[in-house]
């Protein structure tokens, strides 16, 4: 499954076109990012928890922070399960290699769509066509390091730091409009622990996530990725973005 584990660019979409010609790229930071990417690409399956905080502007221009927690599971090149509960509600995604289902626990309704045959293609297609959100997907994008080198003016290694009791490698990337900081666990698999995205031109609003409870190569039954609708749930339809 190396280099085909997951590919999308939900945050990197915002990065495009911001880089200047002069770059300062730290080789140590690049090495750590490459090692993390290679290790993730070699996984057969994985599950983890993710805690998010996201700053948004309300109708009056005030910054409002939304919070959520997610449990995320991948298996092979074509299986994905996400459950997210937060201040904007509780939702889930099930992808079995043929169909993807979005379910709102709060509204008790769901939509099932035909999907591409790999998680990579499904994530990209569903985000582009329906604005589906797949938390922290960029860390599993096989070309993450290359994309960061292309889109950022500087990538720096800031040393080892302890984040919530875990020793991590601290990496920062910056360009005219964005500052990104990553803390990558200094353990066997060099997995991400924490990251922050700061939007410089949007009053420094932030997108922040913490990873926890990693389970490496667990055995997951295929049935876990197939959605079984509750008896009273309503099937709905949604429009593709124009």
Range list of H helices, 72-154: 119-130, 144-151
Grade residue 19 by pLDDT with cuts at 50, 70 and 90: low
Q: Would you say residue 86 lies in a domain?
A: yes
Specify the number of domains making up the chain.
Answer: 1
Task: Show the domain range for 56.
Answer: 12-235
Q: Would you say residue 240 lies in a domain?
A: no
Comparing CA positions, the residue from 91, 85, 94 lying closest to residue 108 is 91
pTM: 0.88
Place of tokens 């124009």: 242
Task: Identify the CATH number of the domain in which residue 29 sits.
Answer: 2.50.20.10
Main-chain phi, psi angles of 150, to 5 degrees: -70, -40
Q: What is the mean pLDDT of residues 145-153?
A: 94
Does the pLDDT of residue 18 top 90, yes or no?
A: no
Q: Would you say residue 4 lies in a domain?
A: no
pLDDT of residue 73: 97
pLDDT of residue 63: 97
pLDDT of residue 22: 83
Task: Write the burial class of residue 126 (CB in 10 Å: 0-12 exposed, 13-18 middle, 19+ buried).
Answer: buried
Residue 230 CA to residue 228 CA, distance in Å, equals: 7
pLDDT in tens, 194-238: 999 999 999 999 999 999 999 999 999 999 999 999 999 999 999
Q: Would you say residue 242 lies in a domain?
A: no
């Amino acid at each position: 499954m190396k280099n085909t584990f997951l590919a999308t660019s939900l945050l990197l979409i915002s990065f495009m076109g911001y880089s200047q010609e002069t770059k300062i790229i730290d080789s140590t930071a690049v090495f750590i990012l490459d090692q993390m990417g290679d290790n993730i690409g070699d996984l057969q399956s994985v599950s983890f928890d993710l805690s998010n905080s996201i700053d948004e502007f309300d109708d009056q221009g005030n910054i409002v922070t939304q919070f959520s927690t997610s449990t995320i599971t991948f298996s092979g090149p074509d299986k994905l399960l996400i459950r997210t509960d937060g201040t904007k509600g509780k939702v889930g995604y099930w992808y079995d290699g043929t169909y993807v289902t979005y379910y709102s626990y709060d509204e008790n309704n769901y939509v099932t769509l035909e999907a591409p045959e790999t998680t990579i293609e499904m994530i990209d297609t569903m985000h582009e066509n329906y604005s589906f959100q797949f938390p922290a997907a960029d860390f599993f994008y096989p070309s993450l390091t290359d994309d960061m080198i292309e889109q950022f003016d500087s990538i720096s290694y800031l040393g080892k730091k302890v984040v919530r009791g875990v020793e991590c490698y601290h990496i920062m990337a910056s360009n005219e409009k964005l500052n990104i900081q990553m803390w990558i666990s200094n353990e066997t698999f060099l997995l991400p622990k924490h990251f922050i995205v700061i939007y410089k031109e949007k009053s420094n609003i932030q997108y922040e996530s913490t990873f926890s409870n990693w389970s490496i190569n667990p055995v997951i039954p295929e049935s876990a990725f197939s959605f079984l609708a509750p008896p009273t749930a309503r099937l709905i339809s949604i429009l593709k973005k124009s």
